[in-house]
């Protein structure tokens, strides 16, 4: 069954992934299930989306877009995420824990594990080092 944005009336094909982050036109996050026979009904019959919803008694689905709060950065396993060359997200808690580096590249689950940084001896540095 197709979806219709309850805010602006834009229609989307069944299972369209476009609505997963809210309506691309108005940002609305409530969508009405509509039968294919009811497509464009609001325009053709000058009905509001509410009226169609009341008439068809179909469910309204609410999309909850993923909340990207800054908090989740500290649940990550990587110490540094490279989004693009020159754009980084740093997990300061991980960096404070140890020198062992796990780098995540891009938004895919691709990781680079710096084995060398993990094999270093735990010997305390002399004050004159560096």
Binding residues vs another protein (CB under 8 A): 70-71, 73-74, 79-80, 83, 85-93, 95-99, 101, 124-125, 127-128
Nearer to another protein, 58 or 100 (CB): 100
Nearer to another protein, 64 or 124 (CB): 124
How far is residue 51's CA from residue 46's CA, in Å, rounded to a whole number? Answer: 10
In whole angstroms, what separates CA 42 from the centre of its chain? 31
Nearer to another protein, 15 or 85 (CB): 85
**Residue 97 parent element (H or E):** helix 92-97
- CB 84 to another protein: min, Å: 8
How far is residue 15's CA from residue 32's CA, in Å, rounded to a whole number? Answer: 13
């Amino acid at each position: 069954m197709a979806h219709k944005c309850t805010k602006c009336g834009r229609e989307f094909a069944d299972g369209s992934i476009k609505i997963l982050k809210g309506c691309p036109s108005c940002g609305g996050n409530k969508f009405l299930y509509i039968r294919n026979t009811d497509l464009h009904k609001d325009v053709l019959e000058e009905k509001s989306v509410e009226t169609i919803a009341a008439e068809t008694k179909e469910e309204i689905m609410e999309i909850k877009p993923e909340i990207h709060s800054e908090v989740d950065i500290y649940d990550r396993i990587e110490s540094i995420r490279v989004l693009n060359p020159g754009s980084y997200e740093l997990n300061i808690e991980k960096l404070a824990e140890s020198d062992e580096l796990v780098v995540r590249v891009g938004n895919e689950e691709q990781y680079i594990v710096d084995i060398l940084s993990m094999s270093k001896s735990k010997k305390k540095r002399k004050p004159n080092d560096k």
